[in-house]
Chains A and B, each alone.
Chain A
Amino acid sequence: ILNVEQSPQSLHVQEGDSTNFTCSFPSSNFYALHWYRWETAKSPEALFVMTLNGDEKKKGRISATLNTKEGYSYLYIKGSQPEDSATYLCACTSGTYKYIFGTGTRLKVLA
């Protein structure tokens, strides 16, 4: 069974703070790691797809890194803004398991 775990479960930060969260996944038969930004009752937004060990991707103030050997990915947000408040989900494709989602990190940025 493929377990994808995210930590922390929820996070409150002040506007302007930088923050990061973790997605852990089994490293065997890894294929791809996806990060999504998911606001309640809105369409999810795909942030990054990473496939290679050592991948680093950046979109504005958000960046992500991937370590497939140890089975983790970090998502970083620099200078958090209230509009960054959302649930950040990662999903892993590995072997025959398709798009197993983590439980998400619920971020609240306080103005």
Chain B
Amino acid sequence: AAGVIQSPRHLIKEKRETATLKCYPIPRHDTVYWYQQGPGQDPQFLISFYEKMQSDKGSIPDRFSAQQFSDYHSELNMSSLELGDSALYFCASSLGDRGNEQFFGPGTRLTVL
């Protein structure tokens, strides 16, 4: 069965650079969620989209933005990268929002040097 696809799997950037992470949900899933897990830290919910509209917003920094496109894939844009942005970024998708089961992608490991 098709799963959530994230690209790239690994990304190395320098401070103050920009990064774009992509998430392709399971076919027919209309909701995408983004999470950040720093080294040794609890996961943090960043933002979610339902039917191409932002549905919930968590602890996403102002330097980050995200959107969901007409094919339901989502991109997380991160600007003015800081060392503290180094983390695993997970994307999840679900059919419908909030109360439905989420399926996670393999994650993108971002390292900021």
Partners in one complex: yes
What residues on B are CB-neighbors of A98 within 8 Å?
45, 48, 56-58
Interface size of B by CB at 8 A reads 23
Encoded as 1 (CB less than 8 Å from any B CB) or 0, chain A from 35 to 51 comes to: 00010010111101101
Which 6 A-B residue pairs are closest in the complex by CB-CB distance?
A: A99-B45, A98-B56, A43-B104, A32-B99, A46-B102, A44-B104
User: Would you list 30 pairs from A and B whose C-beta atoms are within 8 A, ordered by A residue?
Assistant: A31-B99, A32-B98, A34-B102, A43-B105, A43-B106, A44-B35, A44-B43, A44-B90, A46-B103, A46-B104, A49-B100, A49-B101, A49-B102, A51-B99, A89-B42, A89-B43, A91-B45, A93-B56, A93-B98, A93-B99, A98-B45, A98-B48, A98-B56, A98-B57, A98-B58, A99-B45, A99-B56, A101-B44, A103-B42, A104-B42
